[in-house]
């Protein structure tokens, strides 16, 4: 059995496209990570019902509260 390796370095447009695709993927991932509000939701879920009540919240409205600047309920 023969094994053929075709791991040639990319050149020209292929290298340019590959670099652009990697740059775009890193940027998109960073944006999504920055926009994530999971940490804020977890902090609010850890609060007691009395603490939430002082904030004017109930447990079933935490997600709406966190995303209130993006989604209008």
Residues 5-40 pLDDT 10s: 666 677 778 888 888 999 999 999 988 887 888 889
Residue 19 domain-assigned?
A: no
Structure tokens belonging to residue 61: 């409205």
How many domains is the chain built from?
1
In a domain, 63, yes or no: yes
pLDDT (tens digit per residue) in 1-13: 666 666 667 777 8
Dist CA 55 CA 32 (whole Å): 28
Determine the pLDDT at residue 14: 81
| Domain assignment of residue 57, yes or no | yes
Element (H, E) at 65: helix 62-66
Can you spell out the DSSP letters for 12-64? HHHHHHHHHHHHHHHHHHHHHHHH--HHHHHHHHHS-HHHHHHTT--GGGHHH
Residue 72 belongs to some domain of the structure: yes
Is residue 18 domain-resident?
Answer: no
The verdict on residue 14 lying in a domain is no
Count of all residues that appear for the chain in the document: 73
Task: Give the domain extent around 64.
Answer: 40-73
pLDDT band at 73 (very low <50, low <70, confident <90, very high): low
């Amino acid at each position: 059995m023969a094994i053929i390796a075709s791991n040639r370095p990319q050149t020209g447009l292929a290298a340019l496209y590959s670099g652009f695709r990697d740059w775009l993927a890193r940027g998109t991932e960073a944006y999504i990570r920055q926009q994530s509000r999971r940490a804020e939701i977890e902090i609010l879920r850890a609060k007691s019902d009395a603490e939430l009540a002082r904030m004017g919240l109930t447990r079933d409205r935490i997600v709406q509260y966190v995303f209130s600047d993006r989604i209008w309920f």
